[in-house]
Amino acid sequence: MLLPKTLSKGDAVGVIAPASPPGGDRLQCALPFLESMGLQIKLGKSIERVHGYLAGTDKERLEDFHDMVADEQVKAIFFARGGYGSGRIAAAIDYQLVATHPKIIWGYSDITYLHTAIRQKTGLVTFHGPMLSSDVADSEFDALSASMFQQLFTPMTLKYDEAISELEVLVEGVATGQLVGGNLSVLVSTLGTEFEIDTSGNILLLEDIDEVPYRVDSMLNQLKLAGKFDHLAGVMIGDFANAEPKKLPSLTLKEVFYDYFSNLACPVMAGFKIGHCYPHFAVPLGGGATMVTDKKRVYITPGVTST
């Protein structure tokens, strides 16, 4: 496990878009949030590029990422938006460069591909958290979501319990393991590639948006058939926004989760406000986590180091 160093006021941070275009107006609305934390902003060269549904060509987006990783002045990289496209640059990333310049990397959704690839190639802990154009620019962006960025300035153990949201226990137990995962549909897209998600002995976090129950069923079935549920330490089911079935009859999402998770030999809890939601509880991926179902709590170790 490789931890990035903490941020300090006055540090420079990079903002890039490795997937879809962030939308200039929304991005500009969000940048003052970073400045309010005392950070200086360096924008990627292709941040305003639009190449169909991509924020510039693969080469341009890859260069932005490599530039920010190599820049000694840049202490963190914040992704402006997900959408689609991160997986297109994963095979060309210089992972040795990432390993020798470990720094905070923050985003979610389509960024799940980069989280998974970077962790499995380098051991670097990265952060699943709200993004600038996608979330910070929203009027609904709330105080708890904003407060999650403070974990980047001081190493802190995170605690998630029912003070944040109601949690449902599908399987009782206690588990400790590395927290991995993120967006379900993106995780499925890693199967059969060199970046295929490694779940063995790990606590798997799942979230998604705009996926109706039969689609979630299909993707969970694919993970199951690929053996990804065979040796899990635990499962945390995050937010599945806009998942109401468009056609009836349909299984409910709760029934789908029950089908796939209720017979696992590891603790499973659902209801975490992690994903395309508010509040959005940001978590480090690749670090340690402990689930305690009888107390409906999860503890997550710090994702940064001050040394």
Would you please indicate which residues are annotated as catalytic (active-site) residues?
109, 207, 276
Return the closest-CA partner of residue 16 out of 53, 52, 62.
62
- Length of the chain in residues, anyone? 307
Return the closest-CA partner of residue 126 out of 306, 277, 283.
283
Task: Supply φ then ψ for residue 61, to 5 degrees.
Answer: -70, -40
Largest CA distance in the chain: 56
Return the closest-CA partner of residue 91 out of 195, 198, 199, 196.
195
CA distance 57 to 87: 13
Cis preceding-peptide flag for 249 (omega within 30 of 0): yes
CA distance 16 to 26: 14
In angstroms, what CA-CA distances link 287 with 125, 222, 223? 6, 26, 22
Residues 6+ apart with CB under 8 A from 210: 241, 242, 243
234 touches 204 (CB < 8 A): yes
Tokens of 202: 């790990």
**In 10 A of CB 88, how many CB atoms?**
16
